[in-house]
Amino acid sequence: MGGVMYAGRKYVSTAQEAFSKRKQIRRYYTDKADAAEKESQQDWLNNRAETDYIFRSAAEKNRALYQAVREQIAAQQTSLAKRGITQDSATAQLLEEKTKLKSALQQEKTAKETADVLSKKNKEEQDLLAAQRKKILAQRKAANQKSKLWKIGKQLFSWLS
């Protein structure tokens, strides 16, 4: 009888080790998935910060352009006034309109460049997040994959044989 008890304990101990190992594997993949999720969130925050920076730099460019145009118009008006040409003259108005048109074209160019950069950034961000989501799902699946009963039974049967 003692031999049967010993053999039984041996097989129970082996089964417990198998279940314990499965628990460790599950915890390992769960921890990897959690770490990947945190990394994904940090990447998303970094991308948001970069997008904000792009918007702020575009606004700063437009602000600087506006200031430069205002200064250029003032300089032109001063130069024309020194020559005795009034602001009501066709020459002064034409010069001011040309300067404003150049400014508008420059602003449009800046807006297009910003839109292109943001579009590229958005595409990269979507690709990165999709890859990270796929990785996280694979790790969660590996963590949650349960051993099939027949596999456990087969393993126990092989130990008893």
Is residue 157 within 8 A of residue 54, CB to CB? The reply is no
Tens digit of pLDDT at every position of the chain (161 positions): 444 445 555 555 666 676 677 778 778 888 888 888 899 899 889 989 999 998 899 999 999 999 999 999 899 889 888 988 888 888 888 988 999 999 999 999 999 999 999 999 999 989 988 998 898 888 888 777 754 444 555 565 566 55
CA–CA separation, 143 and 127 (whole Å) = 24
CA–CA separation, 34 and 28 (whole Å) = 10
* Predicted model pTM: 0.61
Is residue 135 within 8 A of residue 39, CB to CB? The reply is no
Nearest C-alpha neighbor of 95 from the set 105, 80, 81: 80
Is residue 160 within 8 A of residue 42, CB to CB? The reply is no
What ranges do the domains of the chain cover? 2-160
